[in-house]
Amino acid sequence: LSRGLPMGSGGMILAAFAGAMISMGFVLLISGKVKKMSMLVICGVMIGYICSAVTDFVVTFADDANIVNLHNWSMGSFSGMSWENIRVMAAVTFLSLVLVFLLAKPIGAYQMGEVYAQNMGVNILRFRVELILLSSLLSACVTAFAGPISFVGIAVPHLVKGLFGTAKPLLLIPGCFLGGAVFCLFCDLIARTVFAPTELGISSVTAVFGAPIVIYMMVRGRRNMQ
C-alpha cells in the first residue's frame, strides 16, 4: 500500500478497465434485484461512493506528493494530460467508436424491446456483454487520466436526443461522442476562468449542469409511470 508502481498510458487504461469491470459486476448483480431504472442509477452512485472510500483508504498510506496529485485527479481535471496520453486515448476511443457503429442496428432493435430484438436475430446475451465491455473501456479510458467526471454519461445522451429529436443510433452515437466532448470542454472552460487563478474541478461544474437533468429525467419517468 505504501509503494506505487509506475506504468505507461496503456497500463493505466488496463488498470482502470479492470476497476470498471469490477464495479460493473456489482451493478449487474444489483440489476437482477432492482427493476426501476431510477433505483439502479442510485445504486450505481452508491457503488461509486464505496469505490471512493477504498481510494481514501489507500490514500492513507500514500506519500504527500502523490496525495496532491490524487486530489487533483479525484476532482476531475484535464491539466495533467500529455500528448502520449492523448495518442493512446485517441486510438482506444476511435477503435471503440468503430465497434459501437457496428452495433448500431442491434441497438436500434433493442430499443424496441428484447422480444423484438430477439425476433430480429439479435443475440441478447452477447449484445449485453459487448455493450458492457465497450462502455467500461470508454469510461476507463477517460477516468484513468482525467479523473471521475460525473453526470456526463447520463445527461449528455438525453440532451443530444432532445436536440436531434430522434433516438436513431446512427445519429445518437456520433452525437454523444461529440456532445460529450463539447460539454466537458465547456465545463473545463468555466472551471478554469470563473474563479481564476483558482481552478475548480471539472466534476463540480458538470454536476451543476448535469444533476438537474438527471433529476428531471427521474421526475419525468415517474410521471410517465403514473
Other C-beta atoms closer than 10 Å to the C-beta of 41 total 16
Run of H or E including 109: helix 104-110
Residue range 92-108, pLDDT digits in tens: 889 988 999 888 889 88
- Three-point CA angle 28, 94, 162, nearest 5°: 65
Cell numbers 491539466: residue: 79
Mean pLDDT (the chain) is 82
Residue range 125-149, pLDDT digits in tens: 889 888 888 988 888 888 888 888 8
- Three-point CA angle 107, 143, 104, nearest 5°: 10
Rounded to the nearest angstrom, the gap between the alpha carbon of residue 192 and the centroid of all alpha carbons in its chain is 22
Tell which residue, 150, 16, 170, 166, has the closest CA to residue 97. Answer: 170
Q: Which residues contact 87 (CB under 8 A, 6 or more apart)?
A: 9
Cell numbers 460493473: residue: 24
Residue range 168-189, pLDDT digits in tens: 888 888 898 899 889 988 988 8
> What is the identity of the amino acid at 27?
V
Concatenating the DSSP letter of every residue in 161-190 gives HHHHT---HHHHHHHHHHHHHHHHHHHHHH
Other C-beta atoms closer than 10 Å to the C-beta of 158 total 16
Instruction: Say how far apart CA 143 and CA 147 lie, in whole Å.
Output: 4
pLDDT at 193 over 80: yes
Range 8-148 classified under CATH 1.10.3470.10: yes
Domain ranges of the chain: 8-148, 149-220
The proportion of the chain whose per-residue pLDDT surpasses 90, expressed as a percent, equals: 1
Across 17-46, average pLDDT:
81
Instruction: Say how far apart CA 112 and CA 105 lie, in whole Å.
Output: 11
Measured over the CA atoms of residue 50, residue 90, residue 80 and residue 200, the dihedral's sign is negative
Q: What are phi and psi of 181, to 5 degrees?
A: -65, -45
Give the relative orientation of helices 9-31 and 124-146 as an angle to the nearest 10 degrees: 130
Measured over the CA atoms of residue 95, residue 96, residue 98 and residue 99, the dihedral's sign is positive
pLDDT at 3 over 80: no
Residue range 77-93, pLDDT digits in tens: 887 788 888 888 888 88
